[in-house]
Amino acid sequence: MTGEEKIRRAFQNQNWHEIKVTDSWSIFKIMAEFVDGFEKLAKIGPCVSIFGSARTKNENPYYKLAEDCARMLTERGFGVISGGGPGIMEAANKGAYEAGGKSVGLNIELPFEQFHNKYIDRDKLLEFDYFFVRKVMFMKYSQGFIVLPGGFGTMDESFEAITLIQTGKIARFPIVFVGLDYWKGLFDWVEEKMLHAESNISPDDLNLYRLVDTAEEAVEHIFRFYNKYLLKPNF
């Protein structure tokens, strides 16, 4: 029984369709997504999330790089979580699936471009209406993030993780941005403007993430982190 079905049963004397369209009752639809996510992911084991653009084509070098990251993570004993869609997300699930590892997809329902890919394990596909519920699942059940080139969504997910770690709201875990040519300009600006020019962050905040250029460097950074620190829940 899904979380939504459980909540429907709890409120079986109400008109569910009328409840869903009112702001005050939408909390139950949100609760249902949390229940489904927690129940499916609670025993999933150590996983690393791989982020990147849904628009990346399979002939793009970053697609192959994401596959390589996922395969190497699987060889090190980690499962792989993606956003469930095409592009970099598909490459991440493909790498994990073909290497025989856990392949998790947290798909979001959108009016365009988002459909779940075929490399997600059947019992590890979740569908979300709400971005914020989906992001909680990434933060709670990932032991690291590997971030490949992407757009606003990729930056939203990765910078939320940096913020939560910076403010002590979740346990620290490794965040690796892969692709110096793509990311270096952004993080040069972070250091020059946010840190030195305006003092809006602290020097230690630059240690919350790592920039690398290869799949080997990304996976090795995560592996070294957990040679030093014990795996533990993020909340």
Q: How confident is the model over 87-138, as pLDDT tens digits? A: 999 999 999 999 999 999 999 987 665 578 999 999 999 999 999 999 999 9
Number of domains within the chain: 2
Q: What is the DSSP letter of 207?
A: G
Mean pLDDT of 172-186: 97
Residue span of the structural domain in which 14 resides: 1-43
Per-residue pLDDT, averaged over 186-201, amounts to 98
The answer to whether residue 234 is domain-embedded is no
Condensed to tens digits (0 to 9), the pLDDT of residues 18-28 reads 555 567 778 88
228: pLDDT confidence band, cut at 50, 70 and 90?
Answer: confident
Verify that 126 and 51 share a domain, yes or no.
yes
Same domain? For 152 and 60 the reply is yes
Cβ–Cβ < 8 Å for 192, 181: no
Look at residue 202 and give its three-state secondary structure: coil
Q: Examine the domain organization and report whether 33 and 121 are in the same domain.
A: no
Compute the average pLDDT of residues 60-66.
98
Residues 75 and 157 in one domain: yes
If asked whether residues 82 and 176 sit together in one domain, one would say yes
Other C-beta atoms closer than 10 Å to the C-beta of 174 total 21
The one-letter code for the residue type at 52 is G
Percent of the chain with pLDDT over 90: 79
Instruction: For residues 216-225, give the mean pLDDT.
Output: 96
Encoded amino acid at 73, one letter: L
On whether both 144 and 34 belong to a single domain, the answer is: no
Whether the per-residue pLDDT at 231 is higher than 80: the answer is no
Distances (CA, A) of 60 to 42, 87, 95, 148, 156: 34, 9, 15, 12, 23
Q: How far apart, in whole angstroms, are the C-alpha atoms of residue 117 and residue 136?
A: 21
Do 115 and 222 share a domain, yes or no?
A: yes
- The backbone torsions φ and ψ at residue 196, rounded to the nearest 5 degrees and listed phi first, read -80, -45
HSE-CB at 234 with a 13 A cutoff on CA atoms is 25
Q: 126: closest CA among 141, 106, 109?
A: 106
* CATH at 65: 3.40.50.450
- The three-class DSSP label of residue 198 is coil
Query: Could you tell me what percent of the chain has a pLDDT over 70?
Result: 86
Question: In the structure, what pLDDT confidence band is assigned to residue 80 with cuts at 50, 70 and 90?
Answer: very high
**Closest C-alpha among 98, 68, 103 to residue 220:** 68
